[in-house]
Amino acid sequence: MSDPVPVLAIMGHPNAGKSSVVATLTENDRIQIDKRAGTTTTCTRYPVAIDGERILEFIDTPGFQNPSDILEWFQTHAQQPNLAGAFVAAHEHQPLFAHDCDLLRPVAEGAGIILVVDGSKRIKEKDRVEMELLRLTARPRMAILNNQTNVDRHMGAWRDALNMAFNAVREFNAHRATYDERIRLLGALKTIDQRWEAGLDHTIRSFERDWARRIDQSVESILTLLKKALTLKVERLVRVEEAPSQADIEAIQATLLETFQERLRRLESETQAEIRAHFRHSVWNPPGSVLSRDLFSEEVQQTLGLNRSQLALAGAAAGALTGGVIDLGVGGLSLGTGMLLGAITGGVLGAFGREGLAKIDIERRLGIQRLSMGPVHNPKFPFVLLDRSLLYCARAMNWSHGRQAADESAPNRVPDREPRRRTGFTESLPTTEQKTLARYFAAARRGKEASLEPQCREILAGILHGLSTSAIDARDDL
């Protein structure tokens, strides 16, 4: 017979952050989280399933309505083996205790307890009453200090009081918790009751396997984006009845460039939607950072990708720089005709400096010119696109699902950590890995990347796994 699935009832004062904790631990950003007190009025169950197997269940509960009366009853009937069950049986038909019975029923049925308290506020007598009555239930119990502000003068008093009534006390900010912090919280739950150890070990292993799969899926999405972006071409047919004017030439170039860039933006946007789905974000857009800037903006170009010396080394190893730079430097023309050769300049191609983004090829037959742009020949662009994708993953994988309710304008809220990263991820890679990526990009342009793909997968997976456990998280980036 398999071990029972751990069931945890989330309790606490109205507006202490119970629903945010549930949203974060279940990765469910559709849970209704209201800043108004008392919006949770009934128990709601949130099972957590992986591959169709239910591995954990959380119950979001309403706040106590009559804690002093409950404590008095508990103390009077202390001989009862299941105080919560006895109270529910005695009071479930009394309207005065309807909410309290709803709250205690999961405990009566064997659920463990997670009490969520707001550590930014001082302890009141009602808090001490609730701690004591929960202690008397004799159920496995953990307390979470969910302080979402930088006011910490009451935290010591909370810890002292909670340690007397709970098996474990943890700090956990539901609006800022990363994946690693969520796993460590689940690990700490094992300490509150030895009978839960096997079930929670299975739960944690399931989470870790699922997380590794999500990283693999994200790597696949990023590699697919790079292959599509590096082979992208756009075309336009122009009937030539007479020599085009300079204005005509510039308009054609501008239209091709606009179409080419928009297709690249669309590919990136589609990949970001896949990454959001991998990490179970239904509606989410990362605020701030270079992710909010246009892919072809000067800020993105200067911040992400390899620096010039790294690019030269990596490009030389790939054997792909010389031809591309020469073509771009003369305006990006191949198969050019005298009609247009002197008119198109690298500057018109915009984005990524004098090298431009891609070549324009021109072919004239029977009075029709076929103008095409692509594939991308700029050696820096794929590194920039890769950095943007990795940065998007960094935020998606560690952006708390309970943060949707965070009051970002509150004067005492915990601020995001000051960004430390002033460069992209690829600039920090060993030179050997930069060269491997450059060779992969060069091969992908020709559709010959298969032999290098395993090495690239390993590089990208290593970065993403590191983001799950390091100090670099949803806040600590560009």
Lowest mean pLDDT across 16-25, 258-267, 406-415: 406-415
The confidence band for 129, taking pLDDT boundaries of 50, 70 and 90, is: very high
Peptide bond connecting 375 to the previous residue in cis, omega within 30 degrees of 0: yes
pTM of the full structure: 0.84
Distance (Å, whole) CA 372 – CA 359: 8
The confidence band for 321, taking pLDDT boundaries of 50, 70 and 90, is: very low
Burial of 397: CB neighbours in 10 Å, binned 0-12, 13-18, 19+: buried
Please name the residues in contact with 184: beta carbons below 8 A apart, sequence gap of 6 or more.
Answer: none
Distance (Å, whole) CA 38 – CA 277: 31
Average pLDDT score, the chain: 82
Distance (Å, whole) CA 470 – CA 476: 10
Model confidence pLDDT, tens digit, residues 170-182: 999 888 888 888 8
Class of domain 7-174: alpha beta
pLDDT at 450 over 50: yes
* Range 132-154 burial, b when 16+ CB lie within 10 A, else e: bbbbbbebbbbbbbbbbbeeeeb
The residue ranges of every structural domain in the chain are: 7-174, 209-469
Distance (Å, whole) CA 214 – CA 428: 24
Model confidence pLDDT, tens digit, residues 326-385: 233 233 333 333 333 322 333 333 456 545 788 888 777 777 778 888 899 899 999 999
Q: Compare 147 and 310 and report the one with higher pLDDT.
A: 310
Distance (Å, whole) CA 437 – CA 44: 48
The answer to whether the CB of 257 falls within 8 A of the CB of 349 is yes
DSSP codes of every residue in 22-51: HHHHHT-TTS---SSTT---S-EEEEEEET
What is the DSSP code (8-state) at residue 422?
Answer: -
Distance (Å, whole) CA 136 – CA 158: 19
Angle formed at CA 26 by CA 457 and CA 23, multiple of 5 degrees: 115
The confidence band for 278, taking pLDDT boundaries of 50, 70 and 90, is: very high
pLDDT at 439 over 50: yes
Q: What is the mean pLDDT of residues 63-81?
A: 94
What are the backbone angles phi and psi of residue 413, rounded to the nearest 5°? -65, 155
* Torsion on CA atoms 443, 449, 455, 458, rounded to nearest 10: 110
